[in-house]
Amino acid sequence: MSSRESPGHPSHKPPVKSACLPCQRGGVRRTPIYPSDAGLSLPSTQINPLLYQLGNEEQLESPVSAQNLINTDNLSSSQGIEGVVDLLNPLGGIRNLDAISEDSSASPWIQAVENGSGGVDLRNTHNTETPKLRLYASDQDILNAYYIYLHSFLPILPPPKSELSGDNPVEMGSLNFHNTFLERSSMPYWPATSLSLALSAILALIPIADDLNAFSTSTIQLRRVHAHLYAESAFREMENDLDRIATGCARRRTPIAEDVDSDATKLRPILALVILSVYEYCQRGNISRMRSRANQAVTSAMDLHLHKLDDAATEAQRRAWWSAMLMLHLSAIDQQSSPLISLTDSRITTPFPLLQNSSRPWSLLLKAARSVITVSETLNELQTNYANGLLTPDISERLIQVNSQLSALMENLDRLPESISNREPDGKATRSLWMIARLLVHSARITLHRARAFMDVPLFLDKYCDLASIQDKREEISGFNFNAPHNFDAIFPFTEHKSSLICLKSALAIARALEQLPLSNPYLNRYIRPNAENATANDTISTGTPYILPFFVCGAMQSAYVLLMSHYRIRAALESDSLSFYHYLLNNPEPESEVQDAERLIRELKQGLESIIGAMRLSGMFEGVGGMGQEIHIAYLSAISDI
């Protein structure tokens, strides 16, 4: 036996210094563990401002990829553990702002309640500077901003019929935000339709490019109440729209209606519900309301018979129906439940939308979303049968079948369509939908194999998506008794080694997909770096704020979990001379090269995590999901502490 070989699994050895928190504590937590009592040793590092502050510390060139938005060289040793722990949000996980508002002691967030006069109470904002908020002077400007900021990630509208102009938000200097209420009458323009109101709710959350205080507490609070005023108004107007449609009352035409389709009057409330579903998840962190909006979008669309159209269906009708179905499936994923209506429902005849004359991006995206649900349903069935002692051979066959279906879908997503134009709105949307589909299918693959590979040992402090929490006190996770891991041999047709390798490959694929998302950064303006000594006209930085619309970030959490767990395994094996056990992750190296191969893998794992952190940083303005990126960053800093 080689001096580097180990007779057993490294986890049978005493935990080493670099082991992850679950390993250091002897396995799955039985009580909540916090940094203060877990013996957690974090590095003395300074938080990279690019990660959580969409400020102006570095020059951002266009186009920008997520992999360029984190620079670990800036993680210098000038700040202690207090600075790292401060990144943790008190609530953690998906931050449900609606739940927070029910308990004023839960968070310092302001209690902003819409009043009967159509205003939002701002008495607790304590403004100390003049905020800059994103407003528009017409529905046409709102539509133009939709194509600039939102269309790439969620192409619910057909491509524009006319040339896009530059983004044109209204200057905010004339508004007095020190008043008790922010009222509709104080705004330069009030959107005319439920759709333009819903779009404004998302657009209002995107910081103005040259706002040096974009992430001050008061500006964040004002963006929040500003967006929520739009969202609540959009929901009321949507209900009015549906009432008008039911009674046959027509509505005046608007720029959005004229530029999209003659059926826009009927489609507006459906599309508004789709956007509101995204808003409830990304900003409010309210998963149940996300699903409620998605369910209503689908049922309203079915009332209009949008689900049973033929090839004569307009592109606007196709996108309205299938975007509602997409949100329905994404909301089902987040609630780990089955959607109201399946993709394979025989009543659905409406063709998929076209992106650059191809229906494949939409088709594959919906199939990828469905694959995550299929995995959840399969594992739920397995869990039920396991609990009832009904382990039959067909369970293993079902797992093999699902794994094969995921592999086939992955193969279909291997190559992007040719001749994608990143300059055309639908071209960027094609690339985005393709990458989101990749992310979803690899997330499904990780979900299928994660318990077998890692026994779902918790890594993050709070519960995210379907990942277990360190603070979870349960003895059993996901229905399986991990004190007896040999039970997996009777359930899973895959070995631990096979599942671990599958998870690793999919986690790295997700990191690459996040890197390749086309980002929104329409600004070319530049300005002098503030407070710079001897600043000149050439000493400028971009005022653009690239970002992503993060309705698919559960895949990022899945990927980060796998990369971190794999990182801890390899480092522990390096320090305990047990690398031979993980040769399957190192492509079966020769004994004399295993250390170098392990070091290369650790570097690849770090690069993958940096790509994820960089991408998650681009969703930092959305409060509902912001805690995910923070927790990945914390876990990353802990993982690299001794390197």
Q: Is the pLDDT of residue 481 over 50?
A: no
**Cα distance between residue 215 and residue 198, in whole Å:** 23
Residues 287-303, mean pLDDT to the nearest whole number: 96
User: Helices (DSSP H) in 283-424: which residue ranges?
Assistant: 287-303, 315-334, 360-387, 393-412
Peptide bond into 63 cis (omega under 30): yes
160: number of Cβ within 10 Å: 17
pLDDT exceeds 70 at position 604 = yes
- Mean pLDDT for 209-230 is 86
| Mean pLDDT of all residues belonging to the chain | 74
**pLDDT, average across residues 18-27:** 42
**Residues in contact with 533: Cβ distance below 8 Å, sequence separation at least 6, in sequence order:** none
Q: What is the pLDDT of residues 368-389, one digit of tens each?
A: 999 999 999 998 888 777 777 7
Residues linked to residue 480 through DSSP beta bridges, in sequence order:
477
- Of 542 and 411, which is predicted with more confidence? 411
Give mean pLDDT, residues 20-46: 32
Any idea which of 7-11, 167-171, 519-523 has the lowest mean pLDDT?
A: 7-11
pLDDT of residue 182: 60
Contacts for 240 with CB less than 8 Å, ≥ 6 apart? 194
pLDDT at 68 over 50: no
> Where does the pLDDT of residue 317 fall: very low under 50, low under 70, confident under 90, or very high at 90 and above?
very high
Measure the CA–CA gap between 163 and 166, rounded to whole angstroms: 10
Q: Which two tokens stand for residue 625?
A: 């999901």
- Residue 61's pLDDT is what? 29
Measured CA to CA, the distance from residue 97 to residue 106 in angstroms comes to 10
Each domain of the chain, given as residue ranges in start order, spans: 1-87+358-643
Residue 339 confidence (pLDDT): 92
Which stretch of 118-127, 490-499, 531-540, 594-603 has the lowest confidence by average pLDDT? 531-540
The whole model's pTM is what?
0.79
Asked if the model's pLDDT at residue 131 lies above 80, the reply is no
pLDDT, average across residues 127-135: 71
Q: What angle do CA 561, 564, 569 make, to 5 degrees?
A: 120
**Mean pLDDT (whole number) for 195-203:** 97
- pLDDT value of residue 214: 83
Strand runs (DSSP E) across 80-145, as ranges?
A: 119-121
Question: Over 90: is that where the pLDDT of 259 sits?
Answer: no
The stretch 169-191 carries a mean pLDDT of 65
Average pLDDT over residues 402-407: 97
What local confidence, expressed as pLDDT, does residue 107 receive?
A: 29
Give pLDDT, residue 215: 82
CB neighbour class for 249 (10 Å; exposed up to 12, middle 13-18, buried from 19): exposed
Residue 531 three-state SS: coil
